[in-house]
Structure 1
Amino acid sequence: MMEVFWIRGYEGAQLSDLTAAAGINPPSFYAAFGSKEAAFCEAVDHYLVTVGEGSRLALETPPTLRQALRNMFLTSIEAALAHQPGGCMLILGVVNCLPGNEQARLYLKQARHKIVEAITARIERGRHDGDIPAETDIGQMAAFFYGITQAISLQARDGSSREELIAMIDFALRALDTVVVTG
């Protein structure tokens, strides 16, 4: 079901798609999950501990901030290109957000906030290790690099190639050479 939500989004996933993916009938679906929203939340959680775990590890493992961010972006590219039509489930999972889908949107927002927190923590570590100046505005930098992950997702959905996405991250990493500091 995670793949159904990833490919079609919350609003595009139909009960028939979800039950077919799970190999169960509608009454069993509702007995197991209670609602489409609950199934979506479980799919998001599964995404975080599978696909998302790769990005988190890629961010934490390398010794320098630049290497960590590059590895996170490369992992994001692989995930974004893993399924057609492309993109990230956390970014594109709820796009239109019809009024009745607000809880699903909020759940995704909370999941995305965890990514921003991980990026922020890694930037703080980089500052502590001397990779960036002590005066660096970590919040602004984390927002910028998280925005690059969003761009990767959207451009992958639009059909950008791996090479085009890698060129984009190489350009974005140059921002580390001209770090904006708070004044």
Structure 2
Amino acid sequence: METKQNGPIGRPRGFDADEALERAMLVFWKHGYEGASTANLTNAMGISTTSMYAAFGNKEKLFRKALERYSEGPSAYLARALEEPTALGVATAILAGTVRTTTRPASPRGCLGVQGALTASDSGQEVCDLLVAWRNDGYSRVRERFQRAVDDGDLPAETDPGLLARYVTTFAYGIAVQAASGVGRDELQEMADAALRNWPLF
């Protein structure tokens, strides 16, 4: 009599996929997509190349998963900032969150979403496009929040929410670049405070 067996037959994975993805995210964050070699990734993740491909797919798929993890973890301050009751509170929280995240002592400096693939070879173009879409999505969410602030009377009726959102997100990305260049947290926070001193800006 045959016994039906449910599920795939094979050896157990033998490693913590969640921890491996966290380590891969840090490698991509530090080196960028093209700068992160397969050896860099597997050494940091503590697994073989075969295991990496079996668990996460190819390098591009791994990067996509790492970016999702970054969005839900280090970059989650954006979602929290959008819940602030005022537009000024939103902008303040976005810039403060950017300063904190891009200068954390235990993490690479800068922002994975900004520096992950500013330029890329043909083989990395899809990742470059992915990060453009990631940044554009962040801008759109901020613009929608500022539009709501205009509609609610929190911002003057003549305010251009798109221009204001572009200003805040561009400044945030600039903070990330400066952080990656070694500018300290205190100086970056002073810059962020100065950027919003004459609110509303537009």
TM-score by length of 1: 0.90
Contact 1:56 1:72 in 2 (8 A): no
Q: Which has the larger helix fraction?
A: 1
Unaligned runs of 5+ in 2: 1-23
Q: Which residue of 1 aligns with 2:141?
A: 118
Return the match for 1:70 from 86, 92, 103: 92
Alignment coverage as a number of residue pairs? 178
Letter in 2 for 1:65: A
Map 1:7-46 → 2, pairs under 5 A: 7-46=30-69
Residue 59 (structure 1) shift: 2.8
Counterpart CA distance in 2 for 1:40 and 1:175 is: 39
Counterpart CA distance in 1 for 2:201 and 2:37 is: 47
Contact 1:4 1:13 in 2 (8 A): yes
Counterpart CA distance in 2 for 1:98 and 1:63 is: 43
Structure with bigger RCO (C-alpha 8 Å, 6+ apart): 1
Aligned CA RMSD, in angstroms, stands at: 1.5
Contact 2:88 2:199 in 1 (8 A): yes
Contact 1:132 1:176 in 2 (8 A): no
Unaligned runs of 5+ in 1: none
Counterpart CA distance in 1 for 2:146 and 2:88 is: 9
Letter in 2 for 1:63: P
Contact 1:116 1:143 in 2 (8 A): yes
Counterpart CA distance in 1 for 2:196 and 2:145 is: 15
